[in-house]
Structure 1
């Protein structure tokens, strides 16, 4: 029943213009912030800390509205991929083309910022992409998300050993793989390194995959433009990762920080980036 109702809701969203959907998303963001103390306890301290560190304007309500748009953008892109592709302004595409021409595949990194769901669809216009994702614990929600994300030339694999093997094979074929690098990995699969000045459990997987065969790594962002006007997609090739997992993860977090600073109010501040996953060792300052 929930799945059917959600599908009806998604189809209703698909019929509306992007500007209307984003305005609705902004309202959801405000309601989530005002209505949930847990949401506020995650959102405000993380966002405020970054603005202070980098001497940025503290635009709380703009960031709160943008948090809801992060959700609504994704839904609209899932249901309107062709329309969404027409609303993307792409910069630095030569970075991607030259990386793929090297013949070792491509590791694409896409933080949860702006219209990040459009990025793999842009790449899928040019070459196959295998995307790593974390399944929900609720099967009905998994089915809805997988159906929404389905798109030609895109293949989603779960965050487990089989998924990593499929990504390795994709790189061997010279294809692209996609990873959301700002998610907290499961215990035992990450290392503690700074993220905006605080220890964050971070995955070294992108570095491990890239270093197998000198695969280029590109960080992508999709900054939301004005209401209903789409997104500015930018690509930045990263320097090769060191072999040491801790040093590689620290370099990765620096790259994510730089990506977030493209549009800090559009990042997913409601996500607990600093949580301690079960099975992980304590962070250095807590030992």
Structure 2
């Protein structure tokens, strides 16, 4: 019953205007930060280390509020895809069209930043996209996410061998595939390379898929504008990634870092990017 009521509440919130939903998300972010020592212990050191290293203005409370808006943006985009598409400003789209016209498909990389859920919907307006995702361990939450993400021309596949095969077939058809490159892969599926100066277990999968048929790789960001004003979506084509898994993963992390620095307060600092997944070898520092 509690799960049912929670799903109803989430759907009800998503029906509100974007500005209201984002304010609600900001409040959730503040509550999570103030109410959870574990959340603070994970969030603040990761955010501050990057901002201080790059001599950027320190805006911890803006980052905390934005962390809640990552969730609320996603809810609203899922519930209101057509309204959301009208609120996204797309830059460098000619770069994306030129890449897909090469005929080898497109590897789309979208870090957890701002309104990242709008990115595959923009692409799906123009060509099919197969998106790799990790199912939630909580069945009710997985149902909410899968129902929310369902959209024409978008096909979601799980992070397993079947999903990788589906993505390979999509590239063979000249279509786009999408990967969240800042997620920690399962043990045995990644390599340890630096991410903002610390060893992070990183997937070399984008390079493996792209190098099979010289497929273009494009990094996308969706920076949140002012409250209720939507998002600025930008695209950057990456140079060909190395055939060496370690080098390719390091190149990938450098590209993610550049994407994060577009709007550092809007990145998912509450996620432990440096965790040691079960079954993975120990990081070099150990």
When the two structures are superposed, what TM-score results if normalisation uses the length of structure 1?
0.98
Mark the CA change 1:2 to 1:161 in structure 2 (over 3 Å): closer, same or farther. farther
Question: For 1:33-80, what per-residue CA distance to the aligned partner results, in whole angstroms no more than 9, with x for missing partners?
Answer: 000001001100000000111000110000000000011000000000
Q: Secondary structure at the match of 1:285?
A: coil
* Corresponding residue of 1:95: 95
Mark the CA change 1:199 to 1:223 in structure 2 (over 3 Å): closer, same or farther. same
Q: Is the 8 A contact 1:105 1:173 kept in 2?
A: yes
What does 1:1-287 correspond to in 2, within 5 Å?
1-286=1-286
Question: For 1:84-141, what per-residue CA distance to the aligned partner results, in whole angstroms no more than 9, with x for missing partners?
Answer: 0000000000110000000000000000000000000000000000000000112222
Q: Secondary structure at the match of 1:38?
A: helix
Q: Secondary structure at the match of 1:236?
A: strand
Question: For 1:162-218, what per-residue CA distance to the aligned partner results, in whole angstroms no more than 9, with x for missing partners?
Answer: 000000000000000000000000010000000000000000000000000000000
What's the CA shift for 1:3? 4.1
5+ residue gaps, structure 2, are: none
Q: What is the CA–CA distance in structure 1 between the aligned matches of 2:213 and 2:2, rounded to whole Å?
A: 45
What's the CA shift for 1:4? 2.4
Q: Is the 8 A contact 2:15 2:76 kept in 1?
A: no
Q: What is the CA–CA distance in structure 1 between the aligned matches of 2:91 and 2:249, rounded to whole Å?
A: 26
Question: How many residues are matched?
Answer: 286
Question: For 1:198-247, what per-residue CA distance to the aligned partner results, in whole angstroms no more than 9, with x for missing partners?
Answer: 00000000000000000000000000000000000000000000100000
Q: Secondary structure at the match of 2:285?
A: helix
Q: Is the 8 A contact 1:10 1:79 kept in 2?
A: no
What's the CA shift for 1:154? 0.3
Q: What is the CA–CA distance in structure 2 between the aligned matches of 1:216 and 1:2, rounded to whole Å?
A: 45
When the two structures are superposed, what TM-score results if normalisation uses the length of structure 2?
0.99
Q: Secondary structure at the match of 1:200?
A: strand
Structure 1 moving runs of 4+ over 6 Å:
none
Q: Secondary structure at the match of 1:50?
A: helix
5+ residue gaps, structure 1, are: none
Q: Secondary structure at the match of 1:284?
A: coil
